[in-house]
Each structure stands twice: as structure tokens, then as C-alpha cells.
Structure 1
Amino acid sequence: MTSLWKKKKDDPDREESHPRDEEGSTRHSHREPDERTRLLPRENPVYLRPDDPQVSPYNLWSVRALRGLTSLFLAISFVWWTFLLVSIFVSPPTMHTRGAGFFSFAYTTLTVGYLIIALLFFSVPSKPMTICGAILFLFLFVDMCIILGVARLRVEEGWVGIASVVWATFIAIYVTLQNRYVAWGKKEEEERLTGREETRRPLREWLAVLIATIIMAILAIVSILFTANMILRIQDASLSAPGKMYDVNGNHYQIHLNCIGNPGRKKDGDRTPTVLLEGSDGPVEHTLQPFIDDVYRNGSIDRYCYWDRPGYAWSDNAPSPYSAGMAADALSEALALAGEEGPWVLVAAGVGGIHSRIFASRHLLQVRGIMLIDALHEDYLDTLGAPGRGFLLWIRGVLSPLGLDRLAGAIFKGRSREDRVIGRSAYQTAKVIRAKLQENLVAKSMTASEIQTARHVQMAQTPLTVISSGVEVRESEKWRRTQEKLTKVTKNLKNWDVVRGAVHEVWRSSEGRAIVEKRLRQMVKGKR
């Protein structure tokens, strides 16, 4: 570098291109200082080496002000990021979104990361960084148009999601323009202090540019994945619900409820009960409802209703924390809004057994029977609420806006919108992940307390049928014991069937289908 500086001094052509006559020096000394000369005033300018610390874009007060503004934006973004992180676990007032909440958190995380990169590599701007920044801005702008233009997504994300993506888009264009301005300032200072723009970089700068470019390329790819996942969400939002949506909990969110058939009459003229379904750990439309619909078409039952718990299928996510008892209250409110009064026969599978038992304890006179199909007992709430499970759900939720599994399923496996909303891929949806995370957070506290209260309140003479998976009973002694405990939920056990070859979803086997339909017909119509 020293030899290069000497060459510059000894180069006669270079001296001619920058004459330093006495008159020019006099003019320079009488000129008012500007933002370039205020920090380095000199009466007789002498060219510096390109690696001299004084050759810096920070000589310009506007560049320094720009860096301060970027630091302010980072502080604002970090505070917002902190609020969004907390809102995933506990919803602050006015900050609840009907969507999963991971959307706004992901975009704000991208914003914070981008600003940190912009500050770390502030003084070494490069064209690759500008190009990646422009790509980032382009796809974030598309995302902003999507969330503002698609009504369903706009309602799901609310003002929190809209503000997050608009802020991310603004920061993307701001940092891109900042990069260009700092590059201009760097060029101007090099020309003023060294006599020409320095086109060569020291090894340290090349490494900084390389690292910044790699990170910016990753951020650009992340923005592309965000947009691709948003396009899938547009397709999913176009799938209409078969039932109706009801505003519950003070209009904070909506849940989906659908009732099929007309109430029948028994010989004594009393109405036959309506079957009320409670699904397991997936959308009820993918698990229990198709089988019950076959039972209905066979004439074994006259009418049934099913609903989607908050976060599943078409239902919105509820504010956090959210327990099984709160879900039972939301269902009660939706049934009241729909004009549904019962009487009910509750049919539940898996974790839905917890929900149905709490619902039954709060509607003692309307519940005419309870059927538990390989249901979860409260002894398993410790497993359901395990911290490790909650952490994995949170990680999945944070990564869900990338849509890696959803995109792979759509591209390589031909997964449809039905698969993603109510089918086999529904577990990949951010709303479902959030619902399971909420379930995990309160399983050992609020839900455990609610089910204990329900056990004491439940009417002893309510008819009860328990149907268990023979496979699960054989493989786990704890499961067998808890299934036996479920037979004592009331004192009026009608049947306990252990279906020998059936898996957890008992109705998947032919023997299980036959037994469930038979027992259900007996509970609803009293027929053998």
C-alpha cells in the first residue's frame, strides 16, 4: 500500500490532473468549511494513502446522521420484536391477532436482523448488498400488497401483522437507499483525500463484503419463502367453511360450527339427542367427522354438530392463555348464537375427551350421554404440558412463516388446500401450531384444575360409553389403567369395549367402526 502511495506521488500525469497552484491554495484557505472539510481543514491539501483512517465516509455529517437514524430504527424494531415475542405466550390488550401471531414476529425478526447487518457493515457498502436489498424490498412489497388486498388475511393478522409487514418493507427500501448513499459518500471522500476513487479493497474489506453478501442473500431467500407461503395462504383462504362462523368472547375471534340433519323423535315423543363431536389433536373434519357423517347417512343418528376448536380449520386463534375450559365456554356461546339447545350426546376422541368432560360438567341437564373413544385421561396432562414439547412447538411456530414443509408438500406431493386446512397437512399450519402451544402452556395448570372440577361436578347418572384401542392398551400399561379410570367418570357405565385390532383412531378399523356405530345408536335412540 505504501508503494502505491509513492507511485501516486511520483506519477507526473497524476500531478497534472490535480494541479496545486498557489492561487488554488489561497482560494481553498478562504473558502467556508463544509461537511467535507470541517473535520479535516487544511490550507495546503496533501493526498493521503487509501488505507489512512482519515479516508472515511464518516467525514460527512450526513452519513453520521444516517447511521444514528439506522440505530434509532433498530431500537424501535427491537422493542416491537419484544412485544411480539411476549404476545405469543400472553396476549397484551389490543395486540391479539386472529392468526397465529408468528407472522408478525417473523417479519419483525427479519427487520431486526437486516438493521443489524446494515449497522455492522455500514462503512463497506457493495453492489451485491444493494442487489440483495432490492430483492428483499421487492418481495416484502408483494407481501404487503397481499396482506392489504386479501380480506381473510387482513382480518387474521389485524393491525399488528399489517404494521409489521409495512415496517419491514419500509426498512428494506430505507437500508437499500442508505447503502447507495454511503457508497457515494465513500467515493467522494476517496476522490477528495486520495485523488481518485479506490477500486481495490484490502483483504479485511473483501471478507466483510463477502460475509455481508452471504447474509443478505439468505435474507433475500427468506423473503422469497415468505411470499411463496403467503400465496399458499391465499389459496387456503379461498376454501369456504361448510357451516357458519360465530363471533365469541366479546367478538375477539370467530369459531366455526356446523350442524347437519333434523332432530328425530322417540316413541314417547321426546326429541332424540343431537350428537356433538369433539375432535382429537387435529381438525375434526379429518378425523372423527367423516365417520360420524357415514353413521348419520346410515340412519343410526338423526342429527349431529361439530365445531373447530380455536386455531383449527376455519376457526381463529384465541388470545393467550387459553385453556380447555375456555374452549368449552366458546363452544357454549357459539351454540347459543346458533340457537342450538340440545339435548346432547357428546362424542369425543383423544384430547377431545378432556374438552367434552368439561363441557358436560357445565351443561348437566342438556347432556344425555358421553362417549369417549380412546380418549386422553388427565393423568397425561403432564406429558401434554411438557416444557420440551412446548419449546419444539415454539420453534416450529417461529419457522412456520417460511412454509418449508407446506411448500414441499404442495410442490412435490400435490397437497391441496383441503389437505392444508382440514386434512393430513393441517398440523403444519401456523394456527394449529399456535393452538397446540397454547394447549401446552396451560395443560398442567389451568386445564388440570378445570378437569378436576369437572370430575367432581359431573352428574353421576349420565350414561357413559368407553371404547378403547386394543393396540394402545396392549402397548402401554399406563394407557390401559387410564382407560379404566375413564370408565368411572360417571356411575352409569353402559359399555367398555376394547377393540382388539384397532389403533388409536378406533373407527379406522372395520371392527371399530361397527362397535362405535352400534354403541352410538344405542345412546341416541336406545336401540340394540
Structure 2
Amino acid sequence: MVSLWGTKKGDDPVGSGSGSLHEGDEDRAGPRPSRREYRRREDEADERSRLLPANPRGPHSDGYLDPDDPAVSPYNLWTVRFLRYLTILFLIITFLWWVLLLVSIFVSPPGLHTRGSGFFDFSFTTLTAGNLLLAILFFAQPSKAMRVSSAIIAGFLLVDMILIVAVPRIRAEEGWPGIASVVWAALIAMWCILSDRVVEWGKKEEEVRLTGRPETRRTLRGWLAVLAATIILIVYIAITILMTATLIIRARDASLEMDGERYFVDGDKYQVHLACIGNITTDEDGKRTPTVLIEAGENPSEYDFEHWAYNAYQNSSIDRYCYWDRPGYAWSDNAPSPHSAGMSADALSEALAVAGEEGPWILVSAGTGSIVSRIFSSRHFRDVSGIMMIDPMHEDLLYKIGSPSRGFMLWAWGVISPLGIERIGGAIFKGRTREDRVYGRNAYQSGKYIKAQLQENLVANSLTKNEVVSSRTIQSRDTPLVVVSSGVHCRKDPEWEQKQKELTNLTDNLLAWDVVGKAPHEVWHTYEGRRVMEMRLADIVAQKYIVPVEADE
């Protein structure tokens, strides 16, 4: 029969075998207290009192337990138990915060919206939950390796906290949720060090009290537990280092100057970037000449699409143009979720009003940006004097960017984006610049861009489609229209070609539909594409009616 303390009834409670004391053990453990001293301690019972009386009939009448006895545990101390309960409470709080941050990626609760992507605070909270879970799983196996690893993590988290607070742009993007998440992560890392140290103290205290000496050996199970915990903590260290490096790159990118200004929109919830090039001019009748308003496609406006407009401006094809970055692109903040194309159109309207910019406008858009331009045109049809769309997206094809599989992949890339593996590698080994990361070839790697793409994905086939379908009914039918399509895209996808043709019926005033035969989706990437686009832009500015042509060469 097994007793409460794990010994057989009638046997010596101190046990036998490898865990018993042998000759020479007393010298290593130091002098033993007298039996009178034991009795005096038992009379003054506290958490350090003996759990079992001495057995004078056993082979060892000193009353000590075997070190492997389950009664020899740091959990005998209320201090250790209290720390464990607190650690569990901290894990519950962290988990609830983690769930709230996860939900806020898809639907922003009031007061919890951040002007950044929201992936950094989610990653910090995930790291915090991992630290606490590890501390609970290996609570009774303290080790110096775990404390050193936790100290390294805490050090890097403190650096992250300083970077977020000290760099104004990062501080504005992360907001109070990001600051609170990194502060909490640093505090929990230090808490793990403290609790591990206290458990080690409690373990030695109980070993001295119940076995007569502190145990210097570990069981195989104990060594495996320490090894597993240390390996996991090393992974945490690598994650923290990568996040710190990504924050350093973000701080570096924040110093990149921009044309134009940022303007608060949507009740000052976030800022969007707007810039205008050229001077306001008037015609012979004293009326303002149209300003070209550029809406980029899948990439930021500054990524070579705006360069084409600048060349048209230098060639005097146009007198003035404005461009902006949709929420989450380039210098613009992320908008609260959910965010549709119609909301982007409203943000553009508000930014133009705050900046004091007035029409008339000639809307030039590409790809998915044409959806925003069409909604903007329908809501400001009195101020729109022309529409030019370059290989535009049709609303019937929005299901392609709104597929669940694409949304899941975007979310997954967003979650790991704070590690910045691609951005760090590009900066170190490929010489990628700030321009590349903010609006250039590597802009797709940033958490803000991924969040913006995810927002477009979530509502593409619902809110956005409803908005653009509704815009057809209020679109002015006499607005001049030019459509320039990609010949490569049309040949590769017959459905795309059919929808391009349908878009030429957006108004009753089609000036031209040009199919540039050798041009890709980004038509301006070829010389012929740029030539046709600039020619048609000059024609629509001059309000000329043109015979549609197909530019194959």
C-alpha cells in the first residue's frame, strides 16, 4: 500500500536505494541538527516545518526523505504557489488581449484602431503568451540557461520599446496598443526571470529541509525539460532579434522625405498622403484647366506610375497633376477595418478638401485603382471632366482578389511580417534602399501594405462590389472616357478582354479604346504603352474625339 507521501506502509519513510544517504554524505551536507532541535522546530510549525516524523525503527533514523520523493517539491512553499497562480493569471490576461488584437485585424473595435498594420502588437503579444506558457510548463524545473535566455529576450524587448517610443512615425503607427504590447512583453520577460529564480530558491529550501542537502543532480526527465525549454527560448531570442532589426529598418525608412503632405481623414483616425505637381492654370474664358488625379493600381503611385505622369507634365501634355496613396500604401496610414473602395474614395475626397484642392478633375487610374476612381467619379460627377483607365479591373472580376485562400495567405504573411526576413535580407545582401521599401519594388513586404491588401480582400466581393455597382447608376453618362488595355493580358485571359470591352460602355462618351499589343498589365512598362497613354491623356485634356486604334507595335 502506498502512503500519502509515496512510501510503503510499514517501511522506513526516508526510503532507500540511490536516493538514501551514504557514508560521507554527512560531511558534504554539513552537520545535522540534533533531534531536540527537530522537535523544537516541529512545535513551531510553519511552511518550512517537517512533513514526516523520524522513524527510529528504519535503517536511517534521521528522518530525511529520498530526494526523488514526490513530497520534496518547491510547491510546498506558498510563495512558489502564489507565483505560479500569478503566472497563470498573466497568461489568461495575455490570451484575452491576443484574441482582441486578432479580431481588430479584421474588425477594428472602437478606440483600438492603430494607424499601422497591427501585426507588430499582435506579434509581441504572441511572444508574451509563448513566454508565459513556457514558464508554466517548466515551472518546477528552474535553470540558469532559461534565466539567461529570458534576460536576453527582455533586453531586446526593452530596445524595441525604446525604438517605438522614440521614433515619432513608428509611435504614431503603433499607437497605444503597440506601446502597451511591447511594454507588457518586456515586463513578462522579466517576470519569468524572477519567478524562475524564486522557484530555484524554493527548490533548494525544500531539499535542505526534507533531504538534508540541496540536490545537485537532475533526472533524465529534468534534463530533457531544461533542454526543451532552452531550445524554445533560443527560438524566441531569434524572433526577438529579427523584430528588433525590422524596427530599426522602419526607423530608417521613417526618415525618407516625401512630396506633398499627410492629411488626417475619417475623424482624424488616420492620415493619407497627397501631393500635387504643377501650377493652377486657366483657359481663355478664365476657367480652371483640369487637374489630373492619379489613382494607382496594385502598387503605390510613386512606383513608376507617377513617373509617367511626371514625364507627361514635363512634356507639357498636362499642366498639373495630383496623386495620393490609398490607406496602407507608401506614406499613408492604414485605415480601420473593414475598409472598402468606397471608403478610400471618401478618404480621397476629404484629403483634397483639407488640402484646399478643387476640380475639375481628369481621373487617371490603373488596375484595381480604377474601382476607387469610378466610385469617386460617381460621387463627384460635376467636378469630373474626363476618365482614363489603364487595364482596369471590372467589378465582376473582384472575386479574384476576394478569394478566401488569398485572404488566408495575406493574413499569414502579415503575422510573420514583423520578422522582416525578406526586408532584412534585401537591405543586407541586395542593397535595397529606403525608396525600395517604402514605395518601390519591396513595398509589398511591409506590414502596412499587407494589411491594406487584406482589407481589400475581405470586402472585395461584398461592400466594394456593391459600391461600384451602385456607382454605375449615378455615373454621368456624358463624361469623356478613354480605356487603354494590355494586349498581353487580353490574349492570356479572354474573360478579361470581354470585361475591358464592357467598361468602354461606362459612359456614352467613349473617346478611345486602345489595346497595346505587347504591353503587360502595367501598360506603362513598355515604350509603346507610355506613348499611347500620354497621347490619350493629352487628347482627353483637350476633349478631342478620336478614332479608336489598336497599338500593336
Output the TM-score relative to the length of structure 2. 0.92
* More displaced stretch, 257-266 vs 499-508: 257-266
* Equivalent residues of 1:89, 1:438 under 8 A apart: yes
* Equivalent residues of 1:125, 1:180 under 8 A apart: yes
CA distance in 1, matches of 2:39, 2:474: 98
CA distance in 2, matches of 1:476, 1:22: 93
Equivalence map 1:17-36=2 (5 Å):
17-30=30-43, 32-36=44-48
The match for 1:306 among 323, 335, 338 is: 323
CA distance in 1, matches of 2:333, 2:97: 23
CA distance in 2, matches of 1:205, 1:12: 23
* Equivalent residues of 1:35, 1:61 under 8 A apart: yes
CA RMSD of aligned residues (A): 1.6
Q: What letter matches 1:106 in structure 2?
A: S
Partner of 2:372: 355
Percent identity (aligned): 57
Q: What letter matches 1:96 in structure 2?
A: H
Partner of 2:7: none
CA deviation after TM superposition for structure 1 residue 42, in Å: 3.6
Instruction: Please say if 1:290 is aligned against 2:307.
Output: yes
* CA 15–433 in structure 1, closer or farther in 2 if over 3 Å, else same: closer
Deviations 1:307-334 (A, max 9, x none): 0000011111111110000100010011
* More displaced stretch, 256-265 vs 210-219: 256-265
CA distance in 2, matches of 1:457, 1:25: 94
* CA 213–15 in structure 1, closer or farther in 2 if over 3 Å, else same: closer
Q: What letter matches 1:35 in structure 2?
A: E
CA deviation after TM superposition for structure 1 residue 206, in Å: 1.1
The match for 1:126 among 111, 130, 143 is: 143
Q: What letter matches 1:496 in structure 2?
A: W
CA distance in 2, matches of 1:22, 1:155: 68
CA distance in 1, matches of 2:182, 2:160: 7
Partner of 2:123: 106
* Equivalent residues of 1:344, 1:368 under 8 A apart: yes
* Equivalent residues of 1:258, 1:306 under 8 A apart: yes
* Equivalent residues of 1:58, 1:64 under 8 A apart: yes
CA deviation after TM superposition for structure 1 residue 147, in Å: 1.1
* CA 18–443 in structure 1, closer or farther in 2 if over 3 Å, else same: same
* Equivalent residues of 2:394, 2:500 under 8 A apart: yes
CA deviation after TM superposition for structure 1 residue 101, in Å: 0.6
Partner of 2:155: 138
CA distance in 1, matches of 2:25, 2:90: 48
Deviations 1:240-290 (A, max 9, x none): 221011111110111110011013334454332100000011111004101
Alignment partner of 1:214: what SS?
helix
Equivalence map 1:429-508=2 (5 Å):
429-508=446-525
Alignment partner of 1:375: what SS?
coil
CA deviation after TM superposition for structure 1 residue 89, in Å: 0.4
Partner of 1:382: 399
Partner of 1:3: 17
CA deviation after TM superposition for structure 1 residue 467, in Å: 0.4
CA distance in 2, matches of 1:90, 1:466: 36
Instruction: Please say if 1:399 is aligned against 2:416.
Output: yes
Output the TM-score relative to the length of structure 1. 0.97
Instruction: Please say if 1:419 is aligned against 2:436.
Output: yes
CA deviation after TM superposition for structure 1 residue 409, in Å: 0.8
CA distance in 2, matches of 1:391, 1:96: 21
Equivalence map 1:83-98=2 (5 Å):
83-98=100-115
* CA 15–523 in structure 1, closer or farther in 2 if over 3 Å, else same: closer
CA distance in 2, matches of 1:25, 1:377: 88
Alignment partner of 2:391: what SS?
strand
CA distance in 2, matches of 1:489, 1:57: 76
* CA 22–420 in structure 1, closer or farther in 2 if over 3 Å, else same: closer
Deviations 1:114-169 (A, max 9, x none): 10000000000111111110000000001111111111111111111111111111
Partner of 1:252: 269
CA distance in 2, matches of 1:21, 1:304: 95
CA distance in 1, matches of 2:27, 2:333: 71
Partner of 1:372: 389
Instruction: Please say if 1:80 is aligned against 2:80.
Output: no
Partner of 2:225: 208
- Count of residue correspondences: 525
Q: What letter matches 2:17 in structure 1?
A: S
* Equivalent residues of 2:115, 2:172 under 8 A apart: yes
* Equivalent residues of 2:164, 2:171 under 8 A apart: yes
CA distance in 2, matches of 1:253, 1:25: 70
* Equivalent residues of 2:52, 2:63 under 8 A apart: no
Q: What letter matches 2:18 in structure 1?
A: L
Q: What letter matches 1:429 in structure 2?
A: S
* Equivalent residues of 1:280, 1:287 under 8 A apart: no
Alignment partner of 1:360: what SS?
helix
CA distance in 2, matches of 1:492, 1:286: 31
* Equivalent residues of 1:349, 1:374 under 8 A apart: yes
Q: What letter matches 1:148 in structure 2?
A: V
* Equivalent residues of 2:54, 2:63 under 8 A apart: no
Deviations 1:436-475 (A, max 9, x none): 1010111111000000001111111111000011111111
Alignment partner of 2:382: what SS?
coil
Unaligned runs of 5+ in 1: none
* CA 293–205 in structure 1, closer or farther in 2 if over 3 Å, else same: same
CA deviation after TM superposition for structure 1 residue 4, in Å: 2.4
Equivalence map 1:57-76=2 (5 Å):
57-76=74-93
